């Protein structure tokens, strides 16, 4: 039987007390209810339990639409939505390879948007540089045997960004070569 809370603001501690009283079937039913509550929850469970062939697909779709919209309805870039997708993935599972994949994909999409449509503002370039740096940090933490495909894509971003303004391409070059000096 759930414990009633007399406080005004419930917290995780209160929820945890109630959940600790559940039988196995009640827990399974609760997880099922959460699963069916939203597509975000479904994505979370699929990633957490490695269900499906492409656990990154839904997160990549969000990033794609947020960072490289097709501009048919005057959509704007939505950095927060793309960042949120990466954060949700990271909370669902501790997988540096998946995180690096999403971070690099984020920068690829933003970079491709610039190449497709031209000038974008400094805030977006700063966001792309910041994500590029986070991707490098994540890749460096991975075993060296797993780094090569990520380093290749990071390098491809720097070469495709050559000549883009606001110091963007210069900063990508600096970050890449200071992090991977052996690749000069």
Kindly list the domain boundaries of the chain, sorted by start residue. 1-37, 52-183
The whole-number pLDDT of residue 13 equals 87
The whole-number pLDDT of residue 42 equals 84
Query: pLDDT per position in the chain (184 positions), as tens?
Result: 566 655 578 888 888 888 888 888 988 888 888 889 988 888 888 878 877 778 788 899 999 999 887 666 667 789 999 999 999 999 998 899 999 999 999 999 999 988 888 767 888 899 999 999 999 999 999 999 999 999 999 999 999 999 887 789 999 999 999 999 876 5
The whole-number pLDDT of residue 7 equals 54
DSSP 2: P
Helix (H, G, I), strand (E, B) or coil at 136: helix
The whole-number pLDDT of residue 73 equals 61
The whole-number pLDDT of residue 48 equals 81
Cβ neighbors of 105 (< 8 A, separation 6 or more) are 60, 63, 64
Helix residue spans in the chain (DSSP H)? 12-19, 24-37, 39-48, 57-67, 79-92, 96-117, 122-141, 144-160, 168-179
């Amino acid at each position: 039987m759930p414990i009633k809370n007399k406080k005004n603001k419930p917290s995780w501690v209160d929820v945890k007390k109630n959940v600790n009283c559940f039988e196995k079937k009640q827990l399974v039913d609760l997880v099922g209810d959460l699963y069916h509550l939203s597509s975000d929850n479904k994505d979370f469970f699929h990633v957490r339990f490695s269900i499906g062939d492409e656990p990154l697909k839904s997160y990549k779709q969000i990033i794609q639409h947020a960072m490289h919209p097709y501009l048919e309805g005057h959509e704007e870039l939505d950095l927060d939505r793309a960042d949120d997708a990466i954060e949700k993935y990271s909370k669902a599972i501790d997988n540096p390879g998946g995180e690096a994949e999403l971070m690099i994909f984020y920068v690829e999409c933003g970079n491709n948007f610039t190449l497709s449509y031209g000038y974008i503002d400094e805030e977006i370039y700063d966001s792309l540089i910041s994500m590029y740096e986070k991707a490098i940090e994540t890749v460096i933490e991975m075993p060296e045997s797993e780094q090569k495909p990520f380093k290749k894509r990071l390098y491809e971003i720097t070469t495709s960004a050559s000549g883009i303004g606001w110091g963007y391409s210069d900063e990508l070059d600096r970050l890449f070569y200071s992090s991977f000096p052996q690749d000069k």
